Amino acid sequence: MSKPILVGHDPAGSDPAPVRFGVAAARFTGAPLIVGSAHADHAAIGHGHHSADTGLADDATEQLDRIRAGLEADDVRAEYRALPGMSAPRALHAAAEELDAGLLVVGHGAGHHHLHGSTAERLLHGAPCPIAVVPSGWMPKGGVGIVGVAFTDTPEGQEALRGAVALARRAGAKLRVLSAAKPHGFHETSAGTPAVQGMTYGEIGGELRVAAERAVAEATAGVEGLDVEPDVSVQDPADFLIAASERLDLLVCGSRGYGPQRAVLLGGVSRRVTAEAACPVIVLERGAEASLESLIVEPATVAS
């Protein structure tokens, strides 16, 4: 039995995109689907406070009933849970730990272009499992045809590659391995001449491209039975990945971690990509025990 996919429905919004992606992910992985909606935990709030202070509704029943009716009409099987908490991020974090979720799905929502202060951003700091951030208004295209992975030759990059390989293989999709590097320490003078003597920007970029192509080739050399397409560029990594997301059905990337385990601060690349990508982005949390492979149910074990 695989770990479940937990979809966090925003009680303050009406965007169905996270639920749509959760359904799509459950279908191609075989993982069980749970839809959770946060509501105010009155026991924790205590006397002298109101649910309005938490930004959550008093009750999630009506929201969950509405989602249930829509999914059952489409013959989607799911479990529905009201999640009490002091905030949506806390309620979803606690539920993901309690349910041993393999993936937590949230939306970044309209008006949260940079994710600042949103549920998604707060969950991306130390969540117990990988998180899928779904663009507002996202619609499935009838299947997963291309899975992209943001690859760097680091332990996090290797883990992202393994997870993306598993998902692409299970979905019967092409795997596009994306790697970008931006030359550092190179500047031009006001006269337009290189400030790094002896090397032009093109020469530096050429060396970086060759190194990136070699790293991608070595990392994917053992991948068999899968259509793998390398895509290497010398430019700002965030710009590259955001542009590439227009041609992907799903993008997998690692978070840049600093400090103690699960005390994660997103790097500028991960922050921008999750906020601006055109497709859903799965971020592998540093220190999280669950891997994307834990979502996969082999075809022979999927109930008919």
Residue 32 pLDDT more than 70?
A: yes
Domains and CATH numbers, the chain: 5-301 (3.40.50.12370)
pLDDT tens readout for residues 197-216: 455 556 666 778 888 888 89
pLDDT of 221-242, one tens digit each? 989 999 999 999 888 899 999 9
Three-class HEC string of the chain: CCCCEEEEECCCCCCCHHHHHHHHHHHHHCCCEEEEEEEECHHHHCCCCCHHHHCCCCCCHHHHHHHHHHHHHCCCCCEEEEEEECCHHHHHHHHHHHHCCCEEEEECCCCCCCCCCCHHHHHCCCCCCCEEEECCCCCCCCCCCEEEEECCCCHHHHHHHHHHHHHHHHHCCEEEEEEEECCCCCCECCCCCECCCCCCHHHHHHHHHHHHHHHHHHHHCCCCCCCEEEEEEECCHHHHHHHHHHHCCEEEEECCCCCCCCCCCCCHHHHHHHHHCCCCEEEECCCCCCCHHHHCCCHHHCCC
Residue 71 is predicted with a pLDDT of 95
Average pLDDT over residues 74-78: 95
pTM of the model: 0.83
Enumerate residues 6+ apart whose C-beta is below 8 A from 152. 179, 254
Give the C-alpha separation, 301 to 33, whole Å.
16
The whole-chain average pLDDT of the chain stands at: 81
The confidence band for 176, taking pLDDT boundaries of 50, 70 and 90, is: very high
pLDDT tens readout for residues 115-156: 445 777 777 777 889 999 999 999 998 889 999 999 988 888
